[in-house]
Structure 1
Amino acid sequence: MAEEVLLLLGADLGDPKVTFTRVEDLLAGRCGTILARSRDHWTEPWGFAGAQLFLNRALLIATELEPLALLREVLAIERELGRVRGAAQGYASRSIDIDLLLWKDRQIALPALKVPHPRLHERAFALAPAADLVPHWRHPLSGNTVLRLLDQVL
């Protein structure tokens, strides 16, 4: 049975709109059905000083994949589209970033995957696109709606 998952796309290198179109094609072919997409949000870099704005877009998908299988597909799509993850952890410019923000009301705590995204509640750049699509979904840990979380960080 398909489950609803909220993803966030982000990029500041190349042509993010073209990249996002490619991501959507690959997701639809491998991961499930895209149910809705947010409007595009241009935002300042978060966690580092970057020269360019980031484009962010949320996607609501329906998938039959298990969480780790979806994560593997998302990481493969990132690699195919030029994402290089360095050995050093940190924030930097990127051609594509795809985050699993929410899995409806499900909580996932695995070594390789945490859902809801551990920093979702701190990030207006993720919450604003999320609020476009699922403003009344509740964060499974805090119980706050996406819209309430967005209000708290603005």
Structure 2
Amino acid sequence: MVEQKDEWTSSVFLALGSNMGDASTNIKRAIEKLQHNENVRLLKSSSMYVTEAWGSSSLNDFHNMVVEVATKLSPQQLLDLCLQVESNLGRSRSEAKGYENRLIDIDLIFFEHFSCHTETLQLPHPYWSSRNFVLQPLNEIASNFLPYNGNKKIADFVADCKDDLKVVKLE
């Protein structure tokens, strides 16, 4: 078993999405379940966005948002918690590769400036900078965050993104 950390790690960003049923409610329920864990604290949350599905025009539009949390969990423990929340809300993962409709999807985008590439976890998320459905809500709550300890802010990545799928902020 992995030992718990004593200190809180902040600048941990999660992207949440859903395109089945009441998608906004699915995302809100996922956030509530994450907060039920005593080792996770919600710091900021973006607005909800409606976005065209990535990878297939035959999929329903998605609702997406990004949250910043503080946690005492390790990156792997947080991933395991996210997968447990997805499962508890009714998501069943398909063995098939590719894009599919999802009741709930929770992705770890950044865990401060930690980087790892294992079979189960890649940090930062490998596609975060090429997807406006992640960048737009992330920019709303963390426009000045500097990924990779670099000098390029999230707002700069938004300006450079080539993704042309429609992303609409809900009021």
Q: TM-score, normalised by structure 1?
A: 0.93
List structure 1 runs of 4+ shifted beyond 4 angstroms.
none
Question: Percent identity between the aligned chains?
Answer: 29
Aligned to 1:2: 8
What is the rounded CA distance, in whole Å, between the counterparts of 1:29 and 1:50 in structure 2?
35
CA distance in 1, matches of 2:149, 2:126: 10
Query: What is the distance in 1 between the residues matched to 2:8 and 2:43?
Result: 12
Q: Does the aligned pair in 2 maintain the 1:103–1:115 contact within 8 Å?
A: yes
Match of 1:29?
36
Tell me the amino acid that sits aligned with residue 22 of structure 1. R
Q: Deviations over 1:89-147 (max 9, x none)?
A: 11111100000011122222222111110011110110101001111112218652211
8 Å Cα contact 2:113/2:149 also seen in 1: no
CA displacement, residues 14-36 of structure 1 (integer Å, 9 cap, x when unaligned): 10121122111110112411011
Change (3 A) 1:47 1:25: same
- The answer for the alignment partner of 1:122 in structure 2 is 130
Shift of 1:56: 0.4
SS of equivalent to 1:149: helix
Distance 1:9 1:53 in 2: 14
Letter in 2 for 1:127: L
Q: 1:142, 1:100 → 2: CA distance?
A: 19
Q: TM-score scaled by structure 2?
A: 0.85
Give SS of 1:137's match. Answer: coil
Q: Secondary structure at the match of 1:35?
A: strand
Paired residues in the alignment total 154
Deviations 1:40-82 (A, max 9, x none): 1110000112342110010110100011111111001111111
Structure 1: tracts of 5 or more residues without a match:
none
Output the CA distance in 1 between the equivalents of 2:146 and 2:55: 25
Q: Is 1:109 aligned to 2:109, yes or no?
A: no
Q: Letter of the aligned partner of 2:14 in structure 1?
A: L
What secondary structure sits across from 1:49 in the alignment?
Answer: coil
Query: Secondary structure in 2 aligned to 1:101?
Result: strand
Larger radius of gyration: 2
